[in-house]
Amino acid sequence: MMNHLLSSPPGWIHAAIFFGLGACLLVIVLGFVTYAILAERKVLGFMQLRPGPNRVGGRFGLLQTVADVLKLLIKEDTIPKLADKPLFILAPVLAFAPAFMVLAAIPFSEHLKFSDLSIGLLYYIAISGITTVGILMAGWASNNKYSLLGGMRSAAQMISYEIPLVISVIGVILFSGSLNLTDIVNGQEKVAYIFLSPLGFIVFFISSIAELNRTPFDLPEAESELVAGYHVEYSGFRWAFFMLTEYVYLFAMAALTTVLFLGGWKPIPFLGFIPGIIWFALKFSVIVFFMIWIRGTMPRLRADQLMEFAWKVLLPVALLNIFVSAVVKELFLR
């Protein structure tokens, strides 16, 4: 249906359908965010000997996040007196919008996808870079020294880690010969790329955690150093926007990892009777769980070590991966 829509001439009905579908996706993503936050708190709670949320919405705290969001909505909206007002207001939106935009390119199953861009991967990486601008803007506009430091760290970190992130997927592009995410998944019919390019997967995974600003790379918002980093002056729903950005990116990044390395909706051999979307959800959940697990285990890196790690370790390894991938392709995939 999407292909038909995309290729036919534009009109009001099309616009309405797209709008409706977009709203659907937003609801799905927000639903995911709601329960991803709950899952994170529950899993972390389990690892840290705490019960986690267990009051609102029954024994498992199923409505805890909903209650939290409601609280954020009715909170007073404060803007610091000396803040750069227009930028301060624009920043959360600018950070959030790309997080949602990147989802358009991701195929969730064979049929469930919103656009079949021939350069889907490039689109994802290009758009996600805009968020950095939003974060830097928030850090600057708050007129707070901690925010500024957080914003600076964030810009440095995200730019540095984007490079190994992009280079690590070149292996995948070599294998599939395409930037189209659907083609990439179809290329993994026989074997997932994680087995062909384990090095690439490791670099990609580490860089993606850094891109997501999660432990051990959560320096931009290092609570114990910068109090909260770039969003220290934000409250209420503006703050929620930043949190939302983070979790939507978690969704997007886990989905992208699934597509690139874990074979998307392709089933494990002999289990093909389970529908693709469930396979996708399963693989996706494993990635999310792994990220939460890391958060429960690791301390935080220092800013200079973070940079060193990106440029001196990840980048060379990612470059090496291109070479290894080319050899692997020559030997096994011909």
Partner 1 sequence: MIRTEEMLLNVGPQHPSTHGVFRIVLKIDGETIIEAQPVIGYLHRGTEKLAENLQYTQIIPYTDRMDYLAAMTNNYVICHAVETMMNLEIPERAEYLRVLVMELGRIASHLVWFGTYLLDIGAMSPFLYAFREREAIIGLLNEISGARLTFNYMRIGGVKWDAPEGWIEKIREFVPYMREQLSGYHDLVSGNEIFLNRVKGVGLYSKEEALDYSLSGANLRCTGISWDLRKDESYSIYDRFSFDVPAFDSGDAWARYQCRMAEIEESLKIVEQAVEQFPENGEIMAKVPKIIKPPKGEAYVRIESPRGEIGCYIASEGKKEPYRLKFRRPSFYNLQILPKLLVGENISNLITILGGIDIVLGEVDG
Residue 223 CB, shortest distance to partner 1, in Å, is: 6
Q: Which of 106, 149, 210, 212 binds partner 1 (CB under 8 A)?
A: 149
Helices (H), the chain: 2-7, 12-47, 64-74, 85-101, 120-128, 130-141, 145-168, 170-176, 181-186, 193-196, 198-211, 223-226, 236-261, 276-297, 303-308, 315-332
Number of residues in the chain = 334
Under rule CB under 8 A, residue 43 binds partner 1: no
Under rule CB under 8 A, residue 75 binds partner 1: no
The smaller minimum CB distance to partner 1, of residues 239 and 279, is found at 239
Q: Which of 6, 62, 199, 303 binds partner 1 (CB under 8 A)?
A: 303
* Region at 97 (left for phi over 0; alpha for psi -120 to 50; beta for the rest): alpha
CA distance 93 to 247: 15
Tokens read off for 14: 């099309």
Under rule CB under 8 A, residue 8 binds partner 1: no
Under rule CB under 8 A, residue 48 binds partner 1: yes
Q: Which of 9, 11, 269, 299 binds partner 1 (CB under 8 A)?
A: 299
Q: Which of 15, 145, 272, 332 binds partner 1 (CB under 8 A)?
A: 145
CA distance 76 to 323: 55
Q: Which of 16, 195, 223, 313 binds partner 1 (CB under 8 A)?
A: 223
The candidate with the shortest Cα–Cα distance to 102, out of 118, 126, 136, is 126
Q: Which stretch binds partner 1 (CB under 8 A): 2-10, 76-84, 214-222, 260-268?
A: 214-222
The answer to whether the CB of 188 falls within 8 A of the CB of 265 is: no
DSSP code of 274?
A: S
Angstrom distances, CA of residue 223 to CA of 15, 150, 228? 43, 10, 5
CA distance 41 to 302: 25
Q: Is the peptide bond before 164 cis (omega within 30 degrees of 0)?
A: no
CA distance 166 to 189: 23
Residue 295 CB, shortest distance to partner 1, in Å, is: 8
Residue 141 CB, shortest distance to partner 1, in Å, is: 17
Q: Which of 227, 307, 320, 326 binds partner 1 (CB under 8 A)?
A: 227
Residue 212 CB, shortest distance to partner 1, in Å, is: 15
The answer to whether the CB of 237 falls within 8 A of the CB of 228 is: no
273: phi then psi, degrees, rounded to nearest 5: -75, -15
Q: Which of 57, 116, 300, 328 binds partner 1 (CB under 8 A)?
A: 300
Under rule CB under 8 A, residue 302 binds partner 1: yes
The smaller minimum CB distance to partner 1, of residues 44 and 62, is found at 44
The smaller minimum CB distance to partner 1, of residues 49 and 331, is found at 49
Q: Which of 29, 33, 210, 219 binds partner 1 (CB under 8 A)?
A: 219
Q: Which of 24, 27, 47, 268 binds partner 1 (CB under 8 A)?
A: 47
Q: Which stretch binds partner 1 (CB under 8 A): 213-221, 242-250, 262-270, 321-329?
A: 213-221
The smaller minimum CB distance to partner 1, of residues 7 and 224, is found at 224
Residue 40 CB, shortest distance to partner 1, in Å, is: 12
Chain residues in the site for partner 1 (CB under 8 A):
44, 47-50, 145-146, 149, 152-153, 215-216, 218-219, 222-227, 295-305
